[in-house]
Amino acid sequence: MKKHLLLTVLVLSGLTITVTAQQKDPMKGMDMSHMNHTAPPKKTAAAKKKITAKKRVAKKTVEKKTKAKKTIAKKKPPVKTTAKSKTKTLIAPKKSPAGMDHSMHDMDMKGNKTKPATTPMHDRGNMGQMDMTKQKTNSDTMPMHNMQHSGNAPANHDTMHMDGGAMDHMNMNNKGGHDSMNMQGGHDMKMTGMDMNDMGSMSHAYSLNLPMNRNGSGTGWLPDESPMYGHMIHSKKWMYMLHGSVWLRYNDQDYNHKGARGDSRFDAPSWFMFMAQRKLGQHGLFHFSSMFSLDPVIEGGKGYPLLFQTGESYQGKSLVDRQHPHDLFSELAVGYSYAFSKNTDAFIYIGYPGEPALGPVTFMHRPSSLDNPNSPISHHWVDATHITFGVATIGVRLGKFKAEGSAFTGREPDENRYNFDKPRFDSWSGRLSFNPNKNWTLQVSHGYVKSPEELHHAENIYKTTASVIYSIDLGNEHGIDATALWGMNKQEGDEGENALLFEAALRQRRNALYTRYEWTQKSAEELVLEPLFNSHTVFPVHAFTIGDNYDLFSLGKIRVAGGGQWSIYNAPSSLNAIYGKNPMAFQVYIRLYPSLMKM
């Protein structure tokens, strides 16, 4: 009896071990050599038949589950992007090494169970398709917002926001097989509070939370979709940028010989800028900017011919029908800003020379006039204070608004264009700017300028300006830029002299078509028409210009363009004896300027 019982136990044990060995071993791959097993006996025909039947049942069960999941996935509505957050949730099913679908066990980034879904994401046709798996991880959530062209990313946010074209070529592949999203590897990468400036982008000069494209002249604003032409250099802690423009040209004012005030010459208007900035701590930003011009060397003390232009003096005489040369040192300024939050910044700007918070961005930095080598004849009505020897500005940004005030030197630069004039800080100004969206910039400003003209030192001017600047990037280096502005110079007891300007540029890759219209009230004193006219007599002057700039070729990062422009002027008939009726001007040029910065 004991022999039969022992034999029965051994047979049953062997059958159990045989069946277990044929099923999928959850401990597959582990070293079992340390475990002592008794070799099973030979399989009987009945045992083999039983195992085969179990395999068929298991296979059918897996097929049914897989088919059911595919049906559910097809019926599931696509993931939508809400208007409020513009955030896409991207979930992909995870595959085990054996090919079994374990997506029912996937977790979202907060540890909750999710259903499988795969959604492609496109960056305006440039990024291609990208699948991401959101699963259980220790990282914070990372919303990917719809991208804009402006090419910028605010820093110091609690979540990573990919705004702009900065992610166009970033490859985010999960190659390591880990559950969390990673970049170029299989290790978890926590992105909380990641500073996008460390990824190679350059923020605004006076805010860590604004795009670089909003930089204008001084502390002025441009639209976020403004094009930027320049060259950027990065070091470990600093970011540098170089830009500028040179026109080698022939300029003929009054080529139809209508009057006695025209002139012609070969010359080369120019300006160059160098800027640098770096973070100071978590919320601080230091900025340095400089601007230079070779006008004193090339143009001489009298500047270049430009009908109806006025402002400043040379050798004791007012400069009229000529644009004065800019100083060799046109800006040497430093600034510091502090980001209290994403929507609040405070900053200070000190320049010697520099530009106070008065007027719009100066003409040579406005996208609508980048291709035009001439200064507007309304220059001294709206933006002539861009070279001021002694400026201190403080300001604060609250969301889309910025308020700032300046103390500065009222006197315009003297005729010595190589020196540094005496700082006086005897004038003041205030400016309010508003960027409602990425395409528009609006500003109003008012200031008191003490004794701006050396030859009329007793005259003090109250300046008031308002402007609207528009920029839109149409992609593939196609864009439209436009500016409308008004300015008024007023002395105590006078009605004031006004100026209006409209200018625009249409860029189509290598070609830029541009235009400018101005209406400016010029006094007999400004035009040096005494004693023929009373000094307070005002003459409305119209000026219209149309031109074209075409990129011929490139030398490294420098573009070489050819272009030209034509202008016509109109003034009251009482000035025909001096200027002629509708004098005209033209110029042709070769231009050198940096390539468009792609961000």
Burial 562-585, CB ≥16 within 10 A → b, else e? ebebebebbbeeebeeebbeebbb
N-term to C-term CA, the chain: 90
Q: pLDDT value at position 150?
A: 38
The rounded distance, in Å, linking the Cα atoms of 49 and 72 is 36
Cα-Cα-Cα-Cα dihedral of 550, 553, 555, 561, to 10°?
-20
Nearest CA-CA partner of 489 in 379, 325, 327, 407: 379
Residue 264 has pLDDT above 90, yes or no: yes
Which residues lie below 8 Å from residue 531, measured CB to CB, with a gap of 6+?
Answer: none
Residue 97: pLDDT band (50, 70, 90) is: very low
Mean pLDDT of the chain: 79
Nearest CA-CA partner of 76 in 132, 122, 116, 135: 116
Q: pLDDT value at position 305?
A: 96
Beta bridge partners of 478: 475, 508
- According to DSSP, residue 582 is labeled S
Nearest CA-CA partner of 407 in 382, 423, 427, 435: 427
Residue 130 has pLDDT above 80, yes or no: no
The tokens 């929507």 sit on which residue? 343
Element (H, E) at 22: helix 2-22
Residue 11: pLDDT band (50, 70, 90) is: very low
Neighbours of 378 (CB within 10 A): 29
Which residues lie below 8 Å from residue 445, measured CB to CB, with a gap of 6+?
Answer: 357, 358, 359, 429, 430, 431, 432, 463, 464, 465, 466
Domains and CATH numbers, the chain: 109-187 (no CATH), 203-594 (2.40.160.10)
Would you state the structure tokens that stand for residue 3, as one six-digit string? 């022999």
Least confident span in 172-181, 469-478, 584-593: 172-181
CA distances from residue 424 to 225, 248, 366, 388, 559 in whole angstroms, order as listed: 37, 36, 29, 10, 41
Q: What count of residues does the chain have?
A: 599
Least confident span in 112-121, 317-326, 435-444: 112-121
**What sign for the dihedral angle of Cα 530, 535, 539, 544?**
positive
**Strands, E assignment, 324-373:** 329-341, 344-351
Nearest CA-CA partner of 455 in 424, 490, 414: 414
Q: pTM here? A: 0.69
Least confident span in 90-94, 164-168, 266-270, 301-305: 164-168
Q: pLDDT, tens digit, for every residue of 548-565?
A: 999 999 999 999 999 999
Read off the amino acid at residue 294.
L
If one compares 74 and 32, the residue with the highest pLDDT of the two is 74
Element (H, E) at 466: strand 461-475
The rounded distance, in Å, linking the Cα atoms of 301 and 305 is 12
The rounded distance, in Å, linking the Cα atoms of 117 and 63 is 20
The tokens 């500028």 sit on which residue? 244
